[in-house]
Amino acid sequence: MTETPSVKELFGKAMTLFEAANYEEALKAYDEVLRLNPNLAEAWTNKGSALAALNKYKDAIAAYDKAIEINPVLMEARLNKGVIFSNFSKLTEAVQVFDEALKIDPEDEAMWYNKGIALQKSGKLAEAIAAYDEAIRLSPQNAMVWNNKGVALYEQAHYQEAIKAFD
């Protein structure tokens, strides 16, 4: 008689499959985890990531929404959802997701950074720079944030400030 794997064991297997880029099998494993424990928000988040890796973005957003419904403070689900919106030029939706997350945790550097990206893509350069400044305040050594701020400043023709940001 074989013992049924625990949720913890299945979750570990699913994460390992995902890290090995075996997204289809990871998705099956996350489905099994969720069959056993449908209220495990982290599994919904990771399922969303597996779906996104398989270019199933609508399903990924639904999985992230389920994770957020279960655990409203799960920032990874919010971040991933916002990034998908941003990547597909649903910039208003992306900024909304990031703003909702920042109401929960205003000290989340990744949310500020990604909000800046969405704002920059939508041409709202001053707002993007303000978001990048918040990310820099929280993580002053993050070169990517400084780079994006420099690009936004350059796009505004603030060349001297851009050079300082690039430096």
- Any idea what the Cα angle at residue 135 is, between residues 18 and 163, rounded to 5°? 115
Is there a common fold for 1-71 and 81-159? yes
Q: Superfamily for 1-71? A: Tetratricopeptide repeat domain (1.25.40.10)
| Predicted local confidence at residue 9, as pLDDT | 87
- Give the pLDDT confidence of 120-149 residue by residue, as tens digits: 999 999 999 999 999 999 999 999 999 999
Identify the CA nearest to 129 among candidates 162, 81, 88: 162
CATH C-level class of 81-159? mainly alpha
What is the spatial distance between Cα 33 and Cα 130, in angstroms, rounded to a whole number?
41
pLDDT (0 to 100) of residue 161: 95
Average pLDDT over residues 43-66: 96
Give the CA radius of gyration of the chain: 19
| Whether the predicted model's global pTM rises above the 0.85 cut | yes
CB-based burial label for 1 (10 Å; 0-12, 13-18, 19+):
exposed
Q: Where are the domains of the chain?
A: 1-71, 81-159
